[in-house]
Amino acid sequence: MSRISSKVLKNISKLSDEQILTYMDNLTEEIENRDTVLDATQEGYLLADSSMRVVYLNETACTILPVINSQSIRKPVYVNTLIKDKSICAFIKHCIQTRDVTAKYEYRDRSPLYGERDISINVISFTKNGSAIFEIRDITYILKFKREYTRNEGLAAMTTMAAGVAHEIKNPLASMSIYVQLLARKLDKNGSITKEEAQKTIEVLNEEIERLNKMAVDFLYAVKPVNATFSMENVNKCILSSLDLARAELEENGIITETDLAVSLPNVKMDPALIQQCLLNLIRNSMQARKEGQKELKINIRSYMDSNTVCMAVEDNGCGMSEDQMLKIFEPYYTTKASGTGLGLTNIYKIVKEHGGEVTVNSKLNEGTVFTISLPVPDSERYRLG
């Protein structure tokens, strides 16, 4: 309430009818001006009190939110009877009850009038009496820009990878060239070669051809778009199925495996086959991390909640990495293994990013390494659990 309004109310008994009418006219004009300004903005605004009653809703919010009847906002109405989407109602209730100013809800809306739109709702602030002010925005073009930026970023990465392929191909081609030249010299000198000499040359050429083929396959896999089929899944199920696939290999190498899986984890949106592929790659990386002379290599796989993400950690007590190696580990064609292509972790990074998640590494030289995949919990699942 403004100072003028407070002063008028305190002294209303002393005011004449004409003065009261003048004040009411001025107040009405002020409210109409405010509504005109707020209705002209591209953002929607919703004010709801502690009992979930809609105190104010501007015209923009009516065009963005899936409201049952925009005319009903002129009457006393509650959020649950005004907004069709129950998950939005649950989010608003959550914010009002917890006074959480960091909460944000994003969803995709489809309507015959506006088509497909991405909508964002977040709390701006709370009033003294506990009412919450929500900002509603159409973020369709913002997300489109982000996707284009990511696509351009991917093209830049592909250019870097192509340069890496050209560099890596030189080594097997040089080896093949040397052996072919040696073969030609022996033929020029002797007119013939022995079966053993021919066999040795053929073996080297076959090895290098296989190496080139592996590079080509890995490169094509790394640059092609991720074809993900998403569904709501539990990460523990994915971890256990990955371990089952790697079990024989782990036992053959005498590697001890342990699991520490959190119970009652929310489901996350993911492609189980792709995430399983990531976990298998990380498990195999840990299997190859045995220190020289190390008798007992352990791999521990954990799942847990961290804020609004579900995390899967693959930890080993192997050789570890230096800080310099950790900085480069996700770069294309960077590898610490003699037979590695340097694209395994690049592909994991790409898959996890496609899921809207993060993959991080924490390692100490000669002590061990932890790779962590974090996947976001969908808003609908989070507020449903809440």
Q: pLDDT exceeding 90 applies to what percent of the chain? A: 22
Residue 272 has a pLDDT of 93
**Edge-to-edge strand list for the sheet holding 256-261:** 256-261, 298-306, 309-316, 368-376, 358-364
Signed CA dihedral, 100, 137, 377, 49: sign only: positive
Mean pLDDT for all residues in the chain:
81
Give me the residue label for tokens 């079966």: 195
* Residue range 219-263, pLDDT digits in tens: 766 666 677 889 999 999 999 999 999 998 999 989 999 999 998
Signed CA dihedral, 299, 284, 167, 352: sign only: negative
Least confident of 21-25, 228-232, 338-342: 338-342
Q: How does residue 37 score in pLDDT terms, banded at 50, 70 and 90?
A: low
Helix axes 195-223, 140-190, angle to 10 degrees: 170
From 102, 380, 349, select the one nearest 268 (Cα to Cα): 380
Residue 375 has a pLDDT of 95
Domains and CATH numbers, the chain: 3-141 (3.30.450.20), 142-224 (1.10.287), 228-386 (3.30.565.10)
Alpha-carbon distance of 218 to 225, in angstroms, equals 13
Residue 316 has a pLDDT of 94
The pTM (predicted TM-score) of the whole model is 0.53
Average pLDDT estimate for 144-158:
68
Which helix (H) or strand (E) segment holds residue 384: the answer is: helix 379-385
Vertex 177 angle, CA 174 and 180, to 5°: 155
Whether 104 shows a pLDDT value over 80: the answer reads yes
Residue 268 has a pLDDT of 93
Alpha-carbon distance of 222 to 220, in angstroms, equals 5
Q: pLDDT exceeding 70 applies to what percent of the chain? A: 76
* Residue range 282-320, pLDDT digits in tens: 999 899 888 887 888 999 999 999 888 999 999 999 989
